[in-house]
Structure 1
Amino acid sequence: MADIALGTDPLAGNSGLFLAAPRRTGKSTLLKADLVPELESRGALPVYVDLWADRSRDPGEVIAEKIRATIQDHESGILKVARKSGMSKIGIGSWLAVDIEKIGRPGGATMADAIAYLNKRAGRPIVLIVDEAQHALTSQTSVTAMFSLKSARDALNIGVDSSDVGNVRLGLVFTGSHRDKLASLVIGKNQPFFGASVTDFPLLGADFAAAYADFVNTRLAGDRQIDKKVVARAFEIVAFRPELLQAAVREYVTGSIGVNGSSPSLLEQAYVVRERYWQEFDSQWTSMTPLQRAVLRRIIDQGENYRPFDADSLAAYSENANQQVTVPDAQSALDALREKGLVIRMERGRYALDDTSLIDWLADRTTYSTPRPS
């Protein structure tokens, strides 16, 4: 990942790294605990931005604020003194002047200029890491910010020589919890990163489960040791989410005795933890109208091929909701699903699930007629 971000992977080019994986599978942890230190060890300056942290704010402003803060961290002592006296405009000779407070705002420096300034000030490559980047599709100002980043990448990376840390002065890393949403940034000639490709984020698997079992077993009594294969299966049940696996193991190790006098197995605890995660879906499903359920089913069934208002979709809605559905009806249902946080609207009227766990949840609720172990 660091090779791609710094442009030293000969097969990757300099388009940047786009990683997609479901939420809570370890993306943010890897970025902050592993990728950031690796980039720093190579002499780069990583700038991490999480667009999921505060979804009420415009993503473009969140990115601009992080760049402002990073510039402030790298100001010289003279500039810091000047800022304390009320100056907000800083520069490097006559090359570029940047008003920090106005970066990314009307009348202020573009993010491209601000990043160029930061690159000069820091004297090393900048790697901007944008976590949950699909939120940049939620407003036109955010999309504009993405184009600004693309322009900065193209401008800064012209003429990079071998004396640099990598082959870029600005590297970009974007992650998303839904491949379709993240792909919207790279598919289509009118998108900011057209031509780049989305890579599936490598999920933790059996090797992680085995290592975690070894770690836990050193702290357990002999009669409570957990089997690596069972841990791996439990990890699969909770959709490879480390936090949920840890919760299942913790409840297995310290859990209560059941009504029959025996403790639930680790796999039973994994199902319990998964059910707990899915309870919100159950509650939301109960509160939906028949049409909203029909629309949600259609989104799940069609995936990338979903067209909200074509004849086939309208016919499917009508059949599943047992009512005649018009385009305005479908639009109202989609708006309601967006309000519930289940569906996101992307560019050009496209829609996708906000959390792909819904796919497994609905399959489970449809397939199994008997309760899961508890």
Structure 2
Amino acid sequence: MAEILYHRPALAARLSKLITQVAVGSAASSGVFLAAPRRTGKSTFAREDLRPALEAAGAIVLYADLWQDLTKDPGLVIVEAVREVVGHNEGFVTRLAKNAGMQHVTVAGLSFSLDKIGLGTDIDLTKALVALSDESKKIIVLMIDEAQHAITTDAGVAALFALKAARDELNSSRHHGLRIVCTGSNRDKLAMLRNSKDQAFFGASMVPFPTLDQDFIDWFCANVDLPYPLDPVNVFELFQACGYRPELLGAAADEIRFDFTLAPADVPERFAILVRAQADELNANLQKVLHSLTPIQSAVIRVMSAKGDSYAPFEAPTLELYARAMAQVGIAENAIKVEVPGVQQALIALQEKKLVWKASRGVYAVDEQVIVDLLRDAGLLENLA
């Protein structure tokens, strides 16, 4: 039996129109970026609501999830999304190959394979997408989930610039249009793809993705099928307090379903306790990791969190801030010696612990906003900016 999902058709229809029908003065043709914290329903909406809405509007939709398999280079994941759509039509593949100068084409044989489509190959992404546009006479929408991961590798960066070239060509009057929709769990990291002129999607629209609202909670309470009804008003307050994460509600409901000793009237109180406990457990696990850091690792992530976009890891003033951060937690001044090699090693360790994220061009960012929030709530970011 398929999973029962909550759908947001009105939001999907509105976004679909904004993406495909560019208004005068809009930057949507440059790209649309949707930012929301992890585990708040963003990817489910993209797959289950936005993609069908775009297809219903007549678009060909390509989907690349850069978070699904972190062992794959994000550049390859993007290329494979293009290959998958192209490969659905053998006649189209034949024409594409001949347009690229391959006169003797056997699609299932050795003379042509989808591997010839990609970065630095016989058929680049622009040629493939242009041919798809001309053949289908439809607008193409490429959705890239967790798009910020693309700039962690050289191939990922190359794929983004290849898409920029394809976008510029397909959005000309000669073709039928290409839209790039990027989603990401960290606004600051996602912004790195469009905040400066040397980035592929400079000037693209950044849209805060709407969190699930009271309508979702009403739907949840009506369909959760527990031995005793939940009050949607109370559940929504709980939902807000726990970061708008639907998985916490689902996990709490499951615990109640398998608790055969629980009296029905005690369900609402037990549900609230379980949701809060799971939220606390998520934070507790993260706090354990933060407490396990060496003094220099702790200093680096605290300064990075405090500085935000202006963080420059190896500048002299930043090295002084690391020393201040270590002194604040009781490290004796005569024992503090902060040098660039030590900071480099700390940054590597923080990446391995999934606390810090690094773009291929050497820009660092805290992996999730919740890390910054925990450090700030603990008073560990004071006087470090």
User: When the two structures are superposed, what TM-score results if normalisation uses the length of structure 1?
Assistant: 0.83
Change (3 A) 1:140 1:122: same
Q: 1:187-230 CA distances to partner (integer Å, 9 max, x unpaired)?
A: 111111112232111111233223312333xx344xx2211122
Q: Give the C-alpha shift of residue 104 in structure 1.
A: 1.7
Q: Determine the structure 1 residue equivalent to 2:362.
A: 349
Change (3 A) 1:257 1:358: farther
2:86–2:92 CA contact under 8 A, matched in 1: no
Q: Determine the structure 1 residue equivalent to 2:287.
A: 282
Letter paired with 2:236? A
2:153–2:359 CA contact under 8 A, matched in 1: no
* Alpha-carbon distance in structure 1 between the residues aligned to 2:340 and 2:111: 55
* Alpha-carbon distance in structure 1 between the residues aligned to 2:25 and 2:220: 34
Q: Give the C-alpha shift of residue 365 in structure 1.
A: 5.6
Q: Give the C-alpha shift of residue 121 in structure 1.
A: 3.0
Q: Secondary structure at the match of 1:175?
A: strand
Q: Determine the structure 2 residue equivalent to 1:172.
A: 180
Q: Give the C-alpha shift of residue 77 in structure 1.
A: 8.6
* Alpha-carbon distance in structure 2 between the residues aligned to 1:236 and 1:20: 18
2:226–2:256 CA contact under 8 A, matched in 1: no
1:229 and 2:243 matched: no
1:249 and 2:253 matched: yes
Give the stretch that moved more between structures: 1-10 or 34-43: 1-10
2:90–2:107 CA contact under 8 A, matched in 1: no
Q: 1:131-151 CA distances to partner (integer Å, 9 max, x unpaired)?
A: 000011111221111111011
Q: Secondary structure at the match of 2:220?
A: helix
Q: 1:83-117 CA distances to partner (integer Å, 9 max, x unpaired)?
A: 124441xxxxxxxxxx6322224342211111112
2:144–2:181 CA contact under 8 A, matched in 1: yes
1:132–1:174 CA contact under 8 A, matched in 2: yes
Partner of residue 43 from structure 2, selected from 28, 34, 37: 28
* Alpha-carbon distance in structure 2 between the residues aligned to 1:79 and 1:348: 38
| Alignment gaps of 5+ in structure 1 | 89-98, 162-167, 368-374
2:61–2:143 CA contact under 8 A, matched in 1: yes
Partner of residue 304 from structure 1, selected from 287, 306, 309: 309
CA-based RMSD: 2.6
2:153–2:360 CA contact under 8 A, matched in 1: no
Change (3 A) 1:122 1:279: farther
Task: Report how many aligned residue pairs link the two structures.
Answer: 344
Percent pairwise identity: 38
1:233–1:267 CA contact under 8 A, matched in 2: no
Q: Determine the structure 2 residue equivalent to 1:95.
A: none
Letter paired with 2:144? V
Q: Determine the structure 2 residue equivalent to 1:371.
A: none
Give the stretch that moved more between structures: 288-297 or 242-251: 242-251
Q: Secondary structure at the match of 1:83?
A: coil
Q: Give the C-alpha shift of residue 79 in structure 1.
A: 4.5
Q: Determine the structure 1 residue equivalent to 2:128.
A: 114
Within-5 A mapping of 1:135-284? 135-159=149-173, 168-216=176-224, 219-221=225-227, 224-252=228-256, 254-255=258-259, 265-284=270-289
* Alpha-carbon distance in structure 1 between the residues aligned to 2:45 and 2:280: 26
Q: 1:22-71 CA distances to partner (integer Å, 9 max, x unpaired)?
A: 11111111111111111111111111110001112111111111211110
Q: Give the C-alpha shift of residue 362 in structure 1.
A: 3.6
* Alpha-carbon distance in structure 2 between the residues aligned to 1:265 and 1:2: 40
1:76 and 2:81 matched: no
1:335 and 2:343 matched: no
Q: 1:223-243 CA distances to partner (integer Å, 9 max, x unpaired)?
A: x22111221122123211111
* Alpha-carbon distance in structure 1 between the residues aligned to 2:274 and 2:248: 10
1:186–1:192 CA contact under 8 A, matched in 2: yes
Change (3 A) 1:255 1:276: farther
